[in-house]
Chain A
């Protein structure tokens, strides 16, 4: 059974149809890339999945359960974590504090007015482990707002991972990164997918990253899903090429 099921989801902003009747299934353990030109509706699609917006029509299902009406914060507790195209972190707290808060919330402690020493020690260990995994251990005590762009992006991924998600949604994780950083992040995503068997949906503009990592690729153009298939199928798809070459998309070709 698929972990995530989007059925005929649409989102209109006034007269603009940002997402048009998109259906997509993601199996557990899959790494699915979502690509498409600027303004295609990729981020909006993520916003529908994660509950930032209610779809104008259509439905979202997780584990076969209809979660269309479930609040965004509750979807996180159901196992959905995301990062944003523009990094969303706690800039005036240290990197360790950013992760600490993530682990506290993930451990169901968010309303606790105090915690035991043992719990605090466990949280401390979790933070250390995550810092190592993300390759950020040396920067634990730095204010996260003062880190380099690449480190901030990595920090946000680490915060999402701290939530121990079953489904991780990454919105252009390598945006604005240099060669080396892009490579590092791609390797991190690959490890998460392979070693932890994490289900990942990835919006990405860097085609090397996409074709290197993805099991399947979905292509959005002007709000519509114009293709969905293996990397080889997508590379050979005429409609996709048309969309990327900027020609007006001929729906008949899809």
Chain B
């Protein structure tokens, strides 16, 4: 299907060149490699949220729950199960994905604000579990005592533990795999059924789509993707804390998606980049960095409701 919202090939090439060369150019503009990894991880989280928000038309306001579960799951797996980065990431992803699938089944009949409220409630439940269950999670201090392990792939030994650039490329490879899968899904008949639900639920139903079932699958997939991002976040920081589950992070992810452009596949990544960079630079100047984000957000929503990428698109059409 020739999609109305497909990314121009030149933009696609630009995105991948920028990401692939990030460790080389980030330093030149005053950044650092870990900042690049942070953009990728939060960008993937925002894109996972946007799989629901932008492409299924369902707003989850508690998606940090699954992000944080992925982070804790990965950290706990490294700490208690095995000193293997891929295994830990897999277990973290499964934890968030499975809980998301189970709890998601209970909210697919709700819509709009009611859907959003239940997702916030889920998020807060997990937040308090992480906050209170000191013995397992380290409570308020967060989960420590684990660190990402070097990769052993056949004869190769890749030291993503100590080498920040190697870790960046590991994150980039994970990011690429996840977004490729996401893009594939969105182009498939299943992805089209989600667009149909976003566009017009009644029409979708009367085309023969069991709307609730499809929303449930989309929700579960979104949880899997964002748990994976959460796992990467735990690896990035060698740390997980209750804020990874908190609804303020959920809100930040929504801001990233809307800021960048929730109808565009790459919009949330741009939103995450703007968010993370502003957070990094402006917070070194003033503690009020959030008000800059807030102002930018308000301006975009008021004047460019299709987000930053939406502006670019309008230009390119003109």
Residues of chain A having any CB pair with chain B under 8 Å: 50, 52, 71-74, 76-77, 81-82, 84, 88-94, 96-97, 100-102, 104-106, 109-115, 141, 143, 159, 163
B interface, size bucket: 20 to 34
Decide if B195 is an interface residue (CB 8 Å cutoff). yes
A76 to B207, CA, bound (A): 7
Residues of chain B having any CB pair with chain A under 8 Å: 1-4, 184-185, 188-190, 192-193, 195-196, 199-200, 202-203, 205-211, 214, 217, 263
User: Is A100 in contact with B205, judged by CB distance below 8 angstroms?
Assistant: no
A112 to B189, CA, bound (A): 6
- Given the interface pairs A101-B195, A143-B4, the reply to whether A106 lies near B208 with Cβ below 8 Å is yes
From A74, A141, A163, give the contact of B207 (CB < 8 A). A163
Max chain A Cβ within 10 angstroms of own Cβ: one of B193, B200, B207: B207
- Given the interface pairs A88-B202, A92-B4, the reply to whether A115 lies near B189 with Cβ below 8 Å is yes
- With a cutoff of 8 Å between Cβ atoms, the chain A residues found around residue B202 in the complex are 84, 88
- With a cutoff of 8 Å between Cβ atoms, the chain B residues found around residue A111 in the complex are 189-190, 193, 217
- With a cutoff of 8 Å between Cβ atoms, the chain A residues found around residue B192 in the complex are 97, 100-101, 104
- Given the interface pairs A100-B1, A112-B189, A113-B190, the reply to whether A93 lies near B209 with Cβ below 8 Å is no
A167 to B217, CA, bound (A): 30
- With a cutoff of 8 Å between Cβ atoms, the chain A residues found around residue B206 in the complex are 50, 52, 72-73, 76, 81-82, 84, 88
- With a cutoff of 8 Å between Cβ atoms, the chain A residues found around residue B1 in the complex are 96-97, 100
A-B pair number, CB within 8 angstroms: 100
A104 to B184, CA, bound (A): 16
A94 to B6, CA, bound (A): 12
User: Is B196 in contact with A101, judged by CB distance below 8 angstroms?
Assistant: yes
- Given the interface pairs A104-B189, A114-B184, the reply to whether A71 lies near B207 with Cβ below 8 Å is no
Which 4 interchain pairs have the tightest Cβ spacing? A76-B208, A90-B199, A109-B189, A104-B189
A88-B206, A112-B188 known; 12 new pairs, CB 8 Å cut-off, are A71-B210, A76-B206, A82-B206, A96-B2, A97-B4, A97-B195, A104-B192, A104-B193, A106-B207, A110-B208, A141-B2, A163-B208
User: Is A93 in contact with B208, judged by CB distance below 8 angstroms?
Assistant: no
User: Is B203 in contact with A88, judged by CB distance below 8 angstroms?
Assistant: yes
